[in-house]
Amino acid sequence: MRRAKISVIGAGNIGGECARAIAYKELGDVVLLDIPEKEGVSKGKALDLACVAPIERFDARLTGTASYGDIEGSDVVVITAGVTRKPGQSRDDLVGINAGIVRAVSENVKKYAPQAVVVVVSNPLDAMVYVAWKATGFPAQRVLGQAGALDVARFRAFVAMELGCSVEDVSALLLGGHGDDMVPLPRLTSVHGIPVTDLLPAEKIHAAVERAKQGGGEIVKLMGTSAWYAPTAGTVQMVEAIVRDKKRIIPSAAYCEDEFGVAPGQRGKGLFVGVPAVLGAGGVERVVQFPLQADEKALLDKSINSVRELVGVVKRMMPDLA
Ligand code: APR
């Protein structure tokens, strides 16, 4: 049986860390690609990681490159190419630059890896997944974005810190866009099956939700650039579910029309929104729907509207992608 081939576009902080984690987990061979001016960085990181293999004992071929020909035959392509936000910037402030970058990358993915599942990480996430979908022309099931896996991980970490318990015992779900408009679901958050609402007062839960929403910004303020360890962990969790065909339910930016009332009955006019998705070899194999309470639905609608507005900005910038 041949190993899976996973290409990571953008050999920066997240790209390099993705290559490392994918190789450590032996999910497949890795191609790390950056722009020609950074070819030395992608080659250097790939070589450095290849020399970790004897110590950490993993078998994976790592290739650094600036040539798209090397991604040919990829099963999964992870797009991390783009600029990061600086202190004081929101993710949405990146749309002008990153839409062009993600579009150019996606056109190459279409040409060189037409069968791949594409996992987008570049921000503003929900709009960048839309760009990748339109620019590749791939079926929506094969294009998805990493946001919910990270947001949920941050929320679980903050709940566990508050309770002084293991993060392993905290289970949670969030919906909606990446960032300020994400929709917390405290009623579906539990600690080893015990509803968190029975364990923490409402204000503590609210504080954990707000910290998860602002978690990215908190780190940007501290480091001057955006986070990479947890975003990578979320991304690699998704890649693993796909290449191992695990059918894991992971909150992902997945294409929705009727699902959660995003664009009911409007064929081809849907949006990528954070929802629980069954991830397997085909990419997003199913969006898991469940009834929302009125206040949750109102928050989700607000979040969907924010995504729609940002996609509107992209459509005005690139009318041929509309
Ligand atoms: N093709 C390939 N790589 C590119 C391109 C392009 N057209 N344009 C930029 N890049 C590369 C840069 O050269 C850089 O090496 O993308 C890499 C980005 O790396 P970092 O600046 O370290 O950013 P990182 O922290 O990895 O974040 C990448 O993910 O979470 C988001 O907001 C984050 O949009 C940002 C992206």
**Model pLDDT, residue 90:** 84
Asked about 206 being catalytic, the answer comes back as: no
% of the chain exceeding 70 in pLDDT: 100
Could you tell me the distance, in angstroms and rounded to a whole number, from the CA of residue 292 to the centre of ligand 1? 36
Q: Report whether residue 5 contacts ligand 1, using a CB cutoff of 6 Å.
A: no
Question: Taking residues 40-48, what's their average pLDDT?
Answer: 98
Choice from 39, 84, 122, 150 to test ligand 1 binding pocket (greatest atom count within 8 A of CB): 84
Q: What is the distance between the alpha carbons of residues 304 and 214, in angstroms, rounded to a whole number?
A: 19
Distances (CA, A) of 271 to 55, 139, 161, 261: 44, 13, 34, 11
Q: Report whether residue 102 contacts ligand 1, using a CB cutoff of 6 Å.
A: no
> Among the CATH numbers 2.40.160.40, 3.40.50.460, 3.40.630.10, 3.90.110.10, which is that of 148-322?
3.90.110.10
Q: What is the distance between the alpha carbons of residues 10 and 30, in angstroms, rounded to a whole number?
A: 12
- Contact between 212 and 309 (Cβ < 8 Å): no
**pLDDT range class, residue 174, cuts 50, 70, 90:** very high
Domain ranges of the chain: 5-145, 148-322
Residue range 229-264, pLDDT digits in tens? 999 999 999 999 999 999 999 999 999 999 999 999
Taking 80 as the threshold, does the pLDDT of residue 79 lie above it?
yes
Is 3.60.20.10 the CATH classification of the domain at 5-145?
Answer: no
Residue carrying the six token digits 């639905």: 297
Taking 80 as the threshold, does the pLDDT of residue 179 lie above it?
no
pTM, rounded to two decimals: 0.97
Residue range 94-152, pLDDT digits in tens? 999 999 999 999 999 999 999 999 999 999 999 999 999 999 999 999 999 999 999 99
**pLDDT range class, residue 53, cuts 50, 70, 90:** very high
Distances (CA, A) of 258 to 67, 160, 168, 274: 39, 35, 33, 14
